[in-house]
Amino acid sequence: MRVMTQLAMVMNLDKCIGCHTCSVTCKQVWTNRAGTEYVWFNNVETRPGQGYPRRYEDQDRWKGGWETDRRGRLRLRAGGRFKKLATIFANPLMPNIRDYYEPWTYDYDTLFTAPEQEHTPVARPRSLISGRPMKVEWSANWDDDLAGDPSPDPVLQSVSEQVKLEFEKTFMFFLPRICEHCLNPSCVASCPSGALYKRSEDGIVLVDQDRCRGWRMCVTGCPYKKVYFNHRTGKAEKCTFCFPRVEVGIPTICAETCVGRLRYIGPVLYDADRVAGAAAVPDERDLVEAQKSVLLDPEDPAVQEAARESGVRDDWLEACRRSPVHKLIFEYGVALPLHPEYRTMPMVWYIPPLSPVVDALGRTGHDGEDAGNLFGAIDALRIPVDYLAGLFTAGDPAPVREVLRKLAAMRSHMREVNLGRVPDPAVSASVGMTPPLIESMYRLLAIAEYGDRYVIPLADPDQGPGSEELNTGCGLDFAGGPGMDGPFGEASGRPRPVAVENFHALRHRQDTDELGEPPGRRPARRVNLLNWDGKGLPEGLFPPRSRSRDDS
Amino acid sequence: MNTLLWVVLPYVVLAIFVFGHLWRYRYDQFGWTTRSSELYERRLLRIGSPLFHVGILFVLLGHVAGLVVPQRWTQWLGVSETGYHWAAIVLGTLAGVCTLGGLALLIYRRRTVGPVFMATTRNDKLMYLLLAVTLLLGLGTTVISNVLGEYDYRRTVSPWFRSIFLLHPEGDLMAGAPPTFHLHVLAAFALFAVWPFTRLVHMLTAPLGYLTRPYIVYRSRAGAPGDPARARPPAADARRGF
């Protein structure tokens, strides 16, 4: 047994209102740079829907993740080592920029420079890739709130023969996605340079920007399409689980800013020696249980002993015992992994939403909080349950139904408590729980405090509590600052912290004169406030001071 | 003049090539990449890029066979002069045409596809120019020297090439070669001199280690770059393979 620790996340989908705050704060922190305009380390998808990039779940097309061969051994779905090297000159399975979306800005300058005319001037969209005027036809959340036709959704297609949903049977929920920081990461296995790695202390999967040579195989390897290619630097980038933050014990920016407080972060223990075997179980529907079996019980004395032998510190062990993630997966049994059939052992877990069932029930005029009605609806509503099973259990409806029944029982039980009535113990017993267990689950899901939702042990034992977040940037790392211009174009030079790695590339994009500059006009600096990082004063942020004011 | 061109210049270029790479490898790991443009455009790349790269690998093999392997060795192996000659013509021309065709397609793509052209630096343009000129002169040399008038470069150019690496340069051998060879070699000198400072460096980090390493790479936080101060015993057996 080789015990290792992993920081994992659980998201409670019932509480997600699809506000995209997580996406926006993540983008501001990590991908507001040139070359990553189209990149969303965190995105929120409306399901059913095509997702981002479009139809990324269609693994017959993209061939991400792992599969088992005829002899039951695990292999990369896109092909092994020799095939990777043979197709290295042109990766046939890499999504094009149009599969994500072509990022754009607006030609705001025409609003100021247009001559007096009959009609109001219009700021037309311009591509950030080619610089030309473009027609905006798709983006990262184009099918938000069931906009358009969700029928191209690969999960929906696998569930239902009759793909077009009848209006009365529509349902919808939001699915926030970040990198899964898998136990068996296929992106790491796909990297020819060995630049991607999994940190042994906290399981975070990172790209070594110095060793990445831009072969792009990780983009193909990840079935969730959560490794992105920075087209400016020519290197792969991905969600970092905000490692500078979690190392000092504060949650990721997406979790911190979540309006619904639906994210939970905590460490889990796992047996690294058993990962490969569990990922290779023959039947896809056994993968959820196999994945759970790799995780270890931190209360077990034998596990504690083995963990200490493997070098797990006591404060981490203690955090594992208090971990909300471990509780939601095992004690309450309501968290499920996203697409276990990819065999990567994803470590961002989800509590499937009961709301599609409640909504459908409400539309029929029945009481949506009555346990009997809810249990009946969970059994009767085939499409929402099968759809959730297609996302979280490789198509097996039984575990999804069990989780939904637990959530329904909690809902019904807590209504009785709130109305001052005595809850029927038969309701909790019917889902294998006791009233105190249901109430503690309710507390964690509904009203948990910050310290209960985020149990994040410090990376560095010598670091006292209350330490400031590490500053990832140097104060001189602004565009044009010392040492910011390498000799071989904008991407070269000494390594620098990932968050500020190429602001000089950004500067060129931001204040270039190429977009919509009328000929003959004195070149003016353009400042894109959306991309401004708050450091320094970009030229053109304020209009030039007039001479007369300077004199006075 | 001959000494300058065929004795001094080769060593200067060799020094720039070797020390340029060493310096850049130390100084500029972050800039060491293929700078792929596949994200923008794939249809033309899928044909052009493998054509060029496979072609140039065969061109490299051809140069190794022609320049590094002495004539005695092939004779000892029983390869007749005409047999070698024909193999060189057929394979060399084929590889050269593939490479040039691929390069032409890639340059066409680079010029006509808007985003790809926007991502092209001046450095790239110089590199493309030198690469194209060298390849054209090289293919021209193959055709002219082998087909029109037979010239046995394995008695002059090849020994000169080996003499440089044996640190006993014989510039006179090269000076007697036809001017097409001179031009090709001079263009190649220019290409090798700028090589360490262009994106061509990606060739030297061709990921052959992938064939032997375990699939999953674990690294301890202490080993991560940017974290040198965090002293911690590296996790024993931090790699897993299956």
- Domains and their CATH numbers in chain B: 2-206 (1.20.950.20), 211-242 (no CATH)
Nearest-by-Cβ selection for A198 from B38, B208, B218: B218
Would you kindly state where each structural domain of chain A is located, as residue ranges? 3-101+147-319, 328-448
Q: Using a CB–CB cutoff of 8 Å, tell me whether B134 touches chain A.
A: no
Q: Which amino acid is at A531?
A: N
Pairing of strands A348-351, A3-12: parallel
In chain A, residues with a C-beta closer than 8 Å to the C-beta of B54 are 89
Whether residue B40 and residue A231 make contact (CB cut-off 8 A), yes or no, is yes
| 3-state SS string for A41-108 | CCEEEEECCCCCCCCCCCHHHHCCCEEECCCCCEEECCCCHHHHHHCCCCCCCCCCHHHHCCCEEECC
Contact between chains at A311 and B30 (C-beta distance less than 8 A)? no
Q: Do A488 and B33 touch (CB under 8 A)?
A: no
Question: Mean per-residue pLDDT for A34-62?
Answer: 94
Least confident of A40-49, A305-314, B63-72: B63-72
CA distance A438 to A445: 10
Q: Is 80 exceeded by the pLDDT of residue A377?
A: yes
What average pLDDT score do residues B10-21 get?
96
Which of B21, B36, B117 would you mutate first to test chain A, the one with the most A CBs within 10 A?
B36
**Closest CA–CA distance from residue B112 to any residue of chain A (Å):** 12
Distance of CA A53 to the CA centre of its chain: 13
CA A528, A533, A537, A538 dihedral sign is negative
In chain B, which residue's Cα lies nearest the Cα of A100? B39
CA-CA distance, A438 to A444, in Å (whole number)? Answer: 10
| Closest chain A C-alpha to B155 CA, distance in angstroms | 36
Chain B residue numbers with beta carbons less than 8 Å from the beta carbon of A501 are 30
Question: Nearest-CA residue of chain A relative to B214?
Answer: A189
Dist CA A249 CA A247 (whole Å): 6
CB interface of B with A, residues 191-220, below 8 Å? 197-198, 202, 205, 207-211, 213, 215-220
Q: State whether A491 and B38 contact (CB < 8 Å).
A: no
Question: Is B74 within 8 Å of chain A by CB?
Answer: no
Q: Which of A286, A279, A284 is nearest to A344 (CA)?
A: A279
Most confident of A40-44, A119-123, A507-511, B25-29: A40-44
Tell me: the pLDDT tens digits for A228-276?
Answer: 999 999 999 999 999 999 998 999 999 999 999 999 999 999 999 999 9
**Whether B240 and A131 lie within 8 Å, measured CB to CB:** no
Work out the angle between the directed axes of helices B9-27 and B179-194 (0-180°, nearest 10): 20
Each residue's pLDDT tens digit, B130-162: 999 999 999 988 888 777 767 888 888 999 999
Nearest to A200 among B38, B211, B238 (CB): B238
- Contact criterion met (CB < 8 Å) for B235 and A311: yes
**A160 Cβ neighbours under 8 A, 6+ residues apart:** A383, A386
Q: What is the average per-residue pLDDT within A122-132?
A: 91
Tell me how close the Cα of A413 comes to any Cα of chain B, in angstroms. 45
Report how many Cβ contacts below 8 Å link chain A to chain B: 172
- Give the model's pLDDT for residue A67: 95
Query: What's the Cα-to-Cα distance from A335 to each of A302, A405, B125, rounded to whole Å?
Result: 25, 13, 54
- Quote the minimal CA–CA distance from A530 to chain B in Å: 22
pLDDT at A518: 40
Is residue A199 over pLDDT 70?
A: yes
Strands A336-337 and A348-351: antiparallel
What chain A residue is nearest to B231 in terms of C-alpha separation? A460
Residue A329 has pLDDT above 90, yes or no: yes
Are A272 and B240 a contacting pair at CB < 8 A? yes
B50 contacts in chain A (CB < 8 Å): 89-90
pLDDT above 90 as % of chain B: 57
Q: Is B37 an 8 Å CB contact of chain A?
A: yes
pLDDT in tens, A463-484: 654 444 444 444 444 444 444 4
Q: Give the residue from A364, A366, A365, A368 showing the smallest Cα distance to A354.
A: A368
Helices (H), ranges, A336-491? 355-363, 371-380, 382-392, 397-418, 425-429, 435-442, 450-453
Pairwise CB contact (< 8 Å): A199 & B213? no
Of A74, A90, A194, the CB nearest to B217: A194
Residue A113: CB atoms within 10 Å: 14
Q: Note whether A132 contacts B114, CB cutoff 8 Å.
A: yes
Signed CA dihedral, A70, A75, A79, A82: sign only: negative
Q: Give residue A496's pLDDT.
A: 45
Inform me whether the C-beta atom of residue B49 falls under 8 Å from chain A C-beta atoms.
yes
Tell me what pLDDT residue A369 has. 82
What's the rounded mean pLDDT across residues A431-444? 96
Closest CA to A80 of B239, B240, B218, B212: B212
Burial classification of residue B195, based on how many CB atoms lie within 10 Å of its CB (0-12 exposed, 13-18 middle, 19 or more buried): buried
**Contacts with A97 from chain B: Cβ below 8 Å:** 39-40, 115
pLDDT classification of A158: cutoffs 50, 70, 90: confident
Whether the CB-CB separation of A458 and A248 falls below 8 Å is answered with: yes
- Rounded to whole angstroms, the Cα distance separating B95 from A119 reads 61
Confidence of residue A507 (pLDDT cuts 50, 70, 90): low
Strand, helix or coil for residue A310 = coil
CA-based nearest residue in chain A for residue B54? A89
Cβ neighbours of B14 (radius 10 Å): 15
For chain B, the average pLDDT equals 86
The alpha carbon of residue A372 is apart from the nearest alpha carbon of chain B, in Å, by 48
Q: Stretch A364-376: mean pLDDT, rounded?
A: 85
Q: Which residues of chain B make contact with A92, given a CB cutoff of 8 A?
A: 46
Check if the beta carbon of residue A199 is closer than 8 Å to that of residue A206.
yes
Task: Dump pLDDT digits (tens) for B172-187.
Answer: 888 888 888 999 999 9
Of A366, A388, A445, residue with least CA distance to A413: A445
- Residues of chain B with C-beta less than 8 angstroms from the C-beta of A132: 114
Among the partner-chain residues A214, A486, A501, the one whose CB lies closest to the CB of B34 is: A214
Query: Cβ A199–B221 below 8 Å, yes or no?
Result: yes
Annotated binding residues of B for heme b: 53, 63, 184, 202
What is the pLDDT confidence band of residue A488, given thresholds at 50, 70 and 90?
low
| Per-chain mean pLDDT for chain A | 86
Helices in A419-543 by DSSP H: which ranges? 425-429, 435-442, 450-453, 503-511
Look at B30 and A501 and tell me if their CB atoms are within 8 Å.
Answer: yes
Q: ∠ CA(A251), CA(A254), CA(A256), 5° rounding? A: 45
Report the amino acid identity of residue A385. Answer: V
Q: Give the type of residue at B194.
A: V
CB within 8 Å: B114 and A130: yes
Collect all residues of chain A within an 8 Å Cβ-Cβ radius of residue B230: 460
| A206: chain B residues, CB-CB within 8 Å | 224
Residue B29 above 80 pLDDT?
Answer: yes
Residues paired with residue A8 on neighbouring β-strands, in sequence order: A266
Contact B219 A214 (CB under 8 A): no
How sure is the predictor about A527, in pLDDT bands with cuts at 50, 70 and 90?
low
pLDDT score for B83: 84
Determine which helix (DSSP H) or strand (DSSP E) holds B186, and give its type and residue range. Answer: helix B179-194
- pLDDT at position A162, please? 57
pLDDT at A550 over 90: no
Report the C-alpha gap between A173 and A359 in whole angstroms.
Answer: 11
* Res A511: pLDDT: 57
What pLDDT, on the 0 to 100 scale, is given for residue B70?
Answer: 87
B89 pLDDT higher than 90: no
On the question of pLDDT at A149 being above 90, the answer is no
Cβ of B35 within 8 Å of Cβ of A213? The answer is no
Smallest Cα distance from B185 to chain A, Å: 26
Residue of B42, B217, B239 to mutate, interface with A, max A Cβ within 10 Å: B217
A120 to chain B, closest Cα gap in Å: 30
| Max Cα distance, chain A (Å) | 85
B interface mutation test: which of A104, A492, A500 has the most B CBs within 10 A? A492
Whole-angstrom distance, CA of residue B171 vs CA of residue A174: 73
Dihedral angle over CA of B175, B178, B182, B185, nearest 10: -110
B112 in reach of chain A (CB within 8 A):
no
- Looking at the predicted structure, is the pLDDT value of residue A547 above 60? no
Q: Smallest CA–CA separation between A475 and chain B, in Å?
A: 16
Q: Report the residue of A94, A197, A463 to disrupt the B interface, i.e. the one with the largest count of B CBs within 10 Å.
A: A197
**Is pLDDT above 60 for B236?**
no
Asked whether residue B79 carries a pLDDT value surpassing 70, the answer given is yes
Q: Report yes or no: B125 at the A interface, CB cutoff 8 Å.
A: no
Answer yes or no: is pLDDT of A383 > 60: yes
Distance CA B103, CA B128 (A): 9
C-beta atoms surrounding A425 within 10 Å = 12
Least confident of A52-61, A396-405, A469-478, A543-552: A469-478
Q: Cα–Cα distances in Å, from B2 out to B8, B9, B66, B145, B167?
A: 9, 10, 23, 21, 17
Q: Chain A within 8 Å of B115 (Cβ-Cβ)?
A: yes
Name the DSSP class of B213: S
Dist. CA A228–CA A222, nearest whole Å: 10
